[in-house]
Structure formats: structure tokens, C-alpha cells
Amino acid sequence: MQIRRSGVLRPNTTQLYRQRMGSESRFGTWASEIDFIPDPVAKQRALDEFATYLNPQKVRVMRAAGLDIIEAQRSGAWVWDLDGRRFLDCFTSAGSFNVGRRNPRVVAAAHAALDRLDHGNFLLCSEQKATLAARLAQITPGDLSCTMFGTGGGEANDFAIKLARGATRRAKIVSTINGYHGHTGFALSAAGRGAFRAPFEPLMPEFVQVPFGDTEAMRDAIDEHTAAVLLEPVQGEGGIVVAPPEYLADVRAACDRAGALLILDEIQSGLGRTGKWWASEHFGVVPDIMTIAKSLGGSVVPISATVFTEELREFMIPNPFIHLSTFGGSDLACAVALEVINVIEETGLVDHAAAMGRLLFDGLHSIARDHPDVIADVRGLGLMAGVEYVEDSLGPRMSYHLSQHGVLAIYSGNQPAVMRLMPSLVIEESEVDYLLHAMESALKDLKAGEGPSESSTRTRRRPVRPAPTAS
Ligand SMILES: Cc1ncc(COP(=O)(O)O)c(C=O)c1O
């Protein structure tokens, strides 16, 4: 394939101390060189302690995929391992670093907030919560205008489901197979992968799952008992599966007919990731409830938001304490999130993500054409890209090979054959170029038989899509 060659960012794993990159951009001034002393001994100690005090199997799995990285320096689209190696971060904690890692404006806002604030008293009204909620009402579509804050995505979805059940006085929640909504109570009950759910069954009653993208199955599942449908517009963990063109509109219509609510989980796909503020905009669909987390915290604080209509808020008017979270929407986190939104808006990051996404997809499609024996599909929106390999073990094996060429990329939790490429939205053209070159080099190494074998990285066989389940 022909990839534009910038000549600036050739991966070079031997020159650890002289790595340079364009450090100035309108998105920030990023660290251009390593600014710590690499310490492989400290790295090994951290891995050993992690294995002893957290989980040894996690260390083994990460090592097999070349991902036994201990993050040290973090800056913009890049991360440095404690041993000194630098990686273009294409995982970004599953899309949590849209404005770049330690974006200088966001870090400055965090410092300023720390000088003045703390978590705040969750029971009192708060200036920071009020300002951020007003800002969210501006940037979310349609008549979404009220917010409940939380600390993480699972909590945001839990509240979305509570609100749907409370407001409709119905119980049934329809979600999709291979969807991912977090590992908390209601969210896990709506998640679509058996392995995450099985040890905890029985989960919550009245949760039904249907295949993603199957309008008929969805229509059949939605009835007069349905409180809400919960969906990602683009399944992330499920392997970067974009909703078919008319799907969301059809689901919206089916919900309206049955008096059910539509909850869109934009936790991975929102805040500019897909080249629009919200992935649902690609489909012209406005939900009743939207959940936001991950990148809202600007890589430095935990925060999530469940945004909903004024009509739904009626349910909470008689009891404003119906859902409480001590740290949810802390004053510190709200101050930071406000700056995250300002950065996205003022730097034109959403349009930039769309432009970089076009370059990325051009390159990936070209590589896929050259390697049909390894790559089965390339899909996604904006900077939410999925590369599906022809079989599952290639996910971890390609993670390994990409890591050897300076790219941190991780396969999907629910679809190991699919590599997720979700770099920071501040990524520049030369860095897209770097990623595409690394991809080519990794494929070359894979075909030369280097790196881990198929059996050493096999996680499981390709999943057979289960029939719709109710639990
Ligand atoms: C689409 C989606 N929803 C919800 C979650 C859960 O978020 P958290 O891990 O913050 O609970 C995730 C996390 O990856 C996600 O990708």
C-alpha cells in the first residue's frame, strides 16, 4: 500500500531517549521527550506486586499480548512505559482520553480547582454541579436538559435504568447481545456477554437481550411492559459494530409506539469520538436518556453524567434524594469536566477527529486490501475504528506485534478478533501515519512467524452468537 511518509515518526524501539514528536499543536503543548529515568527494575517490582496483591493471571495475559506496560509519563496521544519505551496510545482506556492525556488546559483547571475546592458536600446544592449540568444541557441533543452525576459509566447506566423504571413504572429493559454498559448492578444485567454475567446469576429480573442491529428482534422484544431500550450507537467492547443506518430510528419509533424510553450509552462513542459530538447524531436520533462518562473526566478525574428530559425529571421532584452518590459529580470533577467541554469546543476537536478518522480509515482500508488473509473487516466511525482479524487469537497476537512497533492497541473484550483503534482526538496527521506504518510492520512480523504463537494467546474460540436471552 501507499502511505504518506512523513519521515518524522518512524517507530524505532532502540532510540528510546531521542524520540521526538511535534510537540506544539492547537490542542496543547505536549511533552516531546522522555522526562523520567527509565527504571526496568521498578517496572518488574510493580508487575510482581500487582501479581501478588491484585491478580497474577492479569499480568500473564497482559504479558502474552505484549501489554505488560506500566504507564509512567503520559502526554497527549502518547504514553511511556516505565522501562522507557514510548507508545502511541490507541486504546486510551477504552476511549477515556479524547482531549489527550494530561491535556495542559485540563491539568491547569484541575490544579486551580484543587487550590480552592474539594469533593464538596453531596447533599448540598453546588455551583460546580449546576454550571456543568447547564453546559451539558447545551451540548446534548434535543430536549435533554437535566443531569444526575456519578463517578463512572456503570453508575450512569444504573441510574438511567432506575430513572426509566421509576418514570414509566414498568420493569422490562431490552439491551443487545455483546453490548457493554459496565459491571455494576443494573448495568451488568443489561450487558450482553455471558462470561461477565454467569458467576453472578441470577441477575436482575426483566432484562432481555436481542441481537444488535436486528430491527425485527428489537420490535418483537419491545412491548407494553418495556421501560426502556438501552443501546450503544456503536458497540465498543462488542467489536466496534456501528448500528445499521435505519436501526436507531426504527428502535426509536418502536419505543415511541410502546411508550418505552430510549437510553443511548455514549460513554465510549460520545464527546467527539466519532467525528460528531454524539454518535447518535450520525443517525439523527435523540434519546430520552443519554449516559456520558470516560472522557468527560479529561483523563484526570472520575465523573459520569446521566442526562435526561425535563419530563422524566418529574419522577424525581417528589423525592430529590432518590439517587445519591457521595463522589458523583464532585465539585473538583465538575470543574475539570467543564474545561474538558471548553477544550473540545474551542479547539474544534470534533471536526479534527472527523478529519483524522478519514485519514485513518483510508489507510486501514488500504492495508486490509493488502492483507485479506489476516484482516476480515475494517469498520467504525471517526476515530472509533475496529480492525477485525480472521480469527480470535490474532487480536492478542497483533497487540503484541503493534507493541513492538510503538503502538498500544487492545482487542475488544467481547470480540477478541477485533482490534480497537481509539487514539486521542488530538492525534495529528503524522501520528496517524505512524500508526499505519506500525500496522504494516506488525503484519509483516506476524507473517514472518515472530512473536507469540496462536495457542499461547488463544482466549477462546470465536463466539457463537447466542440466541436472545431473558434473565
Ligand atoms: C459503552 C460503555 N458503557 C459503560 C461502560 C462502563 O464504564 P465504567 O467502566 O466507567 O463503569 C463502558 C466502559 O468501558 C463502556 O465502554
Ligand 1 atom showing the smallest separation from residue 302 Cα: 10
Asked if residues 221 and 215 have their Cβ atoms less than 8 Å apart, the reply is no
Ligand 1 atom showing the smallest separation from residue 179 Cα: 1
Pocket residue to mutate for ligand 1, from 161, 180, 411, most atoms within 8 A of Cβ:
180
Say what the pLDDT of residue 23 is.
63
Nearest to 188 by CA among 225, 213, 158: 158
The mean pLDDT value for 66-88 works out to 96
The Cα–Cα gap between 173 and 441 comes to 45
| pTM for the whole structure | 0.91
Cα dihedral sign, 310-315-320-325: negative
Q: How confident is the model at residue 118 (pLDDT cuts 50, 70, 90)?
A: very high
Asked if residues 58 and 52 have their Cβ atoms less than 8 Å apart, the reply is no
Please tell me the distance between residue 181's alpha carbon and the centre of ligand 1 in angstroms.
5
Q: How confident is the model at residue 103 (pLDDT cuts 50, 70, 90)?
A: very high
Which of 186 and 136 is assigned the larger pLDDT?
Answer: 136
Say what the pLDDT of residue 14 is.
28
Please tell me the distance between residue 236's alpha carbon and the centre of ligand 1 in angstroms.
9
- 349-378 pLDDT, tens digit each: 999 999 999 999 999 999 999 999 999 999
Pocket residue to mutate for ligand 1, from 181, 269, 325, 412, most atoms within 8 A of Cβ:
181
Q: Whose CA is nearest to atom 8 of ligand 1?
A: 153
pLDDT of 58 strictly over 60: yes
pLDDT of 73 strictly over 80: yes
Task: Enumerate the β-bridge partners of residue 360.
Answer: none
Say what the pLDDT of residue 3 is.
44
Asked if residues 408 and 258 have their Cβ atoms less than 8 Å apart, the reply is no
Ligand 1 atom showing the smallest separation from residue 151 Cα: 10
The Cα–Cα gap between 251 and 262 comes to 8
Please tell me the distance between residue 410's alpha carbon and the centre of ligand 1 in angstroms.
15
The 10 Å CB-count burial string (b at 16+, else e) for 109-140 is bbeebeeebeebebeeebebbeebbebbeebb
Helix axes of 429-447 and 394-404: crossing angle, nearest 10 degrees: 120
Please tell me the distance between residue 130's alpha carbon and the centre of ligand 1 in angstroms.
24
- 400-437 pLDDT, tens digit each: 999 999 999 999 878 999 999 999 999 999 999 999 99
Cα angle 126-114-78, degrees, rounded to a multiple of 5: 115
Q: Kindly report the backbone phi and psi dihedral angles of residue 226, in degrees, each rounded to the nearest multiple of 5, phi listed first.
A: -80, 125
- 167-205 pLDDT, tens digit each: 999 999 999 999 999 999 899 999 877 788 888 888 889
Q: Whose CA is nearest to atom 14 of ligand 1?
A: 94
Task: Enumerate the β-bridge partners of residue 231.
Answer: 264
pLDDT of 466 strictly over 80: no
Say what the pLDDT of residue 327 is.
97
Q: How confident is the model at residue 456 (pLDDT cuts 50, 70, 90)?
A: low
State which CATH number among 3.40.50.1000, 3.10.180.10, 3.50.50.100, 3.40.640.10 fits the domain covering 104-347: 3.40.640.10
What does 76-108 look like in DSSP terms, one character per residue? BTEEEETTS-EEEESSHHHHT-TT-BT-HHHHH
Say what the pLDDT of residue 13 is.
31
- Percentage of the chain surpassing pLDDT 90? 83
Please tell me the distance between residue 183's alpha carbon and the centre of ligand 1 in angstroms.
8
Pocket of ligand 1 (CB under 6 A): 94, 152-154, 157, 180-182, 232, 236-237, 265, 267-268, 293
Ligand 1 atom showing the smallest separation from residue 184 Cα: 11
- 258-296 pLDDT, tens digit each: 999 999 999 999 999 999 999 999 999 999 999 999 999
Say which DSSP state 282 is in.
Answer: G
- Return the minimum-mean-pLDDT range out of 22-31, 112-121, 133-142, 442-451: 22-31
Average model confidence (pLDDT) for the chain? 91
Ligand 1 atom showing the smallest separation from residue 152 Cα: 10
Say what the pLDDT of residue 12 is.
35
Please tell me the distance between residue 292's alpha carbon and the centre of ligand 1 in angstroms.
9
Please tell me the distance between residue 185's alpha carbon and the centre of ligand 1 in angstroms.
13
pLDDT of 111 strictly over 50: yes
Pocket residue to mutate for ligand 1, from 91, 268, 273, most atoms within 8 A of Cβ:
268
The mean pLDDT value for 64-76 works out to 94
Say which DSSP state 125 is in.
Answer: -
Pocket residue to mutate for ligand 1, from 193, 267, 268, 299, most atoms within 8 A of Cβ:
267
Please tell me the distance between residue 139's alpha carbon and the centre of ligand 1 in angstroms.
21
Cα dihedral sign, 460-465-380-207: negative
pLDDT of 470 strictly over 90: no
pLDDT of 7 strictly over 70: no
Q: Whose CA is nearest to atom 13 of ligand 1?
A: 182
Residue ranges per structural domain of the chain: 1-84, 104-347
Say what the pLDDT of residue 272 is.
98
pLDDT of 451 strictly over 60: yes
Asked if residues 95 and 294 have their Cβ atoms less than 8 Å apart, the reply is yes
- Percentage of the chain surpassing pLDDT 70? 91
